[in-house]
A = this chain, B = another copy of it.
Amino acid sequence: MQLTRFTDFGLRMLMYLSKHDRATPITIAEIAGQFDVPHNHLIKVANRLGKLGLVKALRGRNGGLVLAIAPEIIRLGDTLRGLEGDVPLVNCEDPPCALGGRCLLTGALRAGLDAFYACMNEYTLADVSTGGTEVAIVTMHRNYLANLGVASHH
């Protein structure tokens, strides 16, 4: 049982953005480079996060992505559910299960999934973006700017 890569990349994007405010929009190219993930994939992730109301794209010469709301009010359970979508924990259709439609397991697994999201809602994006995580992200961004030949403002 693993989160989809789509969700995984969404979380990395949110954590990275959480350390930068509206004055420092971050390009998808920067995030793609930092995490070594495909640029096209991240565009889809950014679109989903935009639809969830978590991320905004600022246009213009120094445009890029910013968080749409403060990391202190971004709950991880709701965020994960929005990224994962309403997909059940077992795929009863592949191969089609002979118990399909008469299986009590489905309800039990749905309760377990709800418990997972409820627990994750006890954490905000801010909670998981402090300490060593914060230091790492700030350093990554500084190194990115240095490699661009741009003076860092940090």
Question: A residues engaging B (CB < 8 A)?
Answer: 1-4, 7-8, 11-12, 15, 34-37, 76-77, 84, 87-91, 95-99, 102-105, 108-109, 111-120, 122-123, 127-133, 135-137, 140
Contact = CB atoms under 8 A, between A and B. Distances in A.
Interface hub of A1, A102, A129, A133 (most chain B Cβ within 10 A): A1
Interface hub of A35, A99, A120 (most chain B Cβ within 10 A): A99
Contacts of A140: 98
30 contacts: A1-B1, A1-B2, A1-B3, A1-B4, A1-B7, A1-B84, A1-B113, A2-B91, A3-B89, A11-B90, A12-B99, A15-B103, A35-B95, A36-B96, A37-B95, A77-B112, A98-B140, A99-B137, A102-B135, A102-B136, A103-B136, A104-B127, A104-B132, A105-B128, A108-B123, A108-B127, A108-B128, A109-B120, A115-B116, A115-B119
A132 B133 CA distance: 49
Given A36-B98, A104-B129, A104-B132, 17 more contacts: A1-B1, A2-B88, A12-B97, A15-B99, A35-B95, A36-B95, A98-B136, A102-B135, A103-B128, A104-B128, A104-B131, A108-B120, A108-B127, A111-B120, A112-B120, A115-B116, A115-B119
The count of identical subunits is 2
Given A34-B98, A115-B116, A105 B15 contact: yes
Contacts of A131: 102, 104
Contacts of A103: 15, 128, 132-133, 136
